[in-house]
Amino acid sequence: MKTWLITGCSSGIGAGIAKAVLASGDQAVVTARNKDKVKDIVDAYPETALAVSLDVTDKESIINAVKEANEKFGTIDVLVNNAGYGYRSAVEEGEDEEIQKLFQTNLFGPINVIKAVLPGMRAQKSGAILNVTSIAAARSAVGSGYYASSKAALELLTDGLRKECEPLGIKVMVVQPGAFRTRFYDEESLKGTKAAIGDYEATVGKSRPGNFENKHQQAGDPNKAGEIIVKVVNSDEYPQILTLGKAAVTAVKTTLEAKIAELDKYADLSASADYDE
């Protein structure tokens, strides 16, 4: 029986993972900024679930959550860094304070949770760390440069972490979802700049919070995502990046193919930067 610590479980993929973990018979530390928001999940599994308040931007909150997890279950075997949110803004419009908050949640928060959990995993010489990013990390979109860069940074950090932890018996993986039927696009969840510039209305404007309706018709099913993640963690081999959703696979594949084509196109010019042999 494994013990999972999952951040950002109040809804969406985090909730889907928590439910799948508990249904599989494993134990779960189910976290949200307000633990009352995960009460329904935990109440269904009183022996194997623990609700914990966790704000990933607060180091003391992280330390307390890890302490509560260890006191209840004795170990943390799987960490899922899922907490995060989106921010819509042209690069020029980005507000310093809001950008810092975004990166604190989407990048530095997960880093601090990893640092809090890794000593225990190193001591037991086993464990798994899953960092949830987005297909935005593979290809950004108009108005999503800051969000995409926070997720891309987390992906590259995960790649380095994977190589560092592999000899220690700890597995590390990126989970890269596409569009899922969650509250991510809801006006109260998706943040946006308050310093809009008129010249960007034709491009960024249509993606700003309040300028479109989230009809919750995305193809991705958060509960199926949770089931897939549990299945992969219980398998013998992890992918480096687990992309979730048919459209997400297509988007990432076409992006990578375009990058390879461009690399090939300029290969001779690129090689000419070397000293003559």
Q: Catalytic positions, please?
A: 147
Using alpha carbons only, give the angle 7, 8, 13 rounded to the nearest 5 degrees.
105
219 — phi, psi (to 5°)? -70, -30
- Asked whether 27 and 73 are in contact (CB, 8 A), the reply is yes
In Å, how far from its chain's centre is CA 11?
Answer: 14
Quick one: CA dihedral 211, 141, 145, 87, positive or negative?
positive
Q: Which residue in 241, 123, 92 sits closest to 178, CA to CA? A: 241
Query: Whole-angstrom Cα distance, residue 75 to residue 117?
Result: 9
Query: Whole-angstrom Cα distance, residue 38 to residue 49?
Result: 10
Tokens of 7: 């951040």
Neighbouring residues of 78: CB distance < 8 A, sequence distance ≥ 6: 2, 3, 4, 5, 127, 128, 129, 130, 233
Cβ neighbour number for residue 235 with a 10 Å cutoff: 9
The residue to which tokens 């950004």 are assigned = 140
